Amino acid sequence: MKKLLLAAALSAPLLSGCIVAVSDDGVETGWGKNYNGESWQYQQKENRKTISKLDLGADYNQVLEQLPTPDFTELVRKEEGVYKVIYIATNSKHSDGKVTKDECTPLVFKNEKLIGFGQSALLQIL
């Protein structure tokens, strides 16, 4: 019994390693990769490109189809309409796996239509 425990204890470090998951579509994920197998830096660069091509007046659902799931979402009703603000990661400062609002670009919608993005657009509705 002691030999079995000793063998198990000595072999444990050899059996540990990086965990890699494979999704239903066969795409590997692991350290520094998202569910599409892309680095977070690449994904955020793509997010910036997509946001820069958006047109004012774009429909909320059409915009969501072009971007990943928002990192944060806010909703408020004012006299002039309903405002939605979604935050998309575009400028992470650390590869710690945590996204904060200051690492995101806000997209501002009024009554389901895009009225602007960035801090200046957000400040106009506050």
Dihedral-angle region of residue 122 (phi above 0 means left; psi in -120 to 50 means alpha; beta otherwise): alpha
Q: pLDDT (tens digit, 0 to 9) for every residue of the chain, 126 residues total?
A: 555 555 545 554 444 443 333 333 334 434 444 555 568 889 999 999 999 999 999 999 999 999 999 999 999 999 999 999 999 999 987 777 789 999 999 999 999 999 999 999 999 888
Residue 21 phi/psi, 5° resolution?
A: -110, 150
pTM > 0.85: no
Report, at the CATH architecture level, how domain 19-125 is classified: 2-Layer Sandwich (3.30)
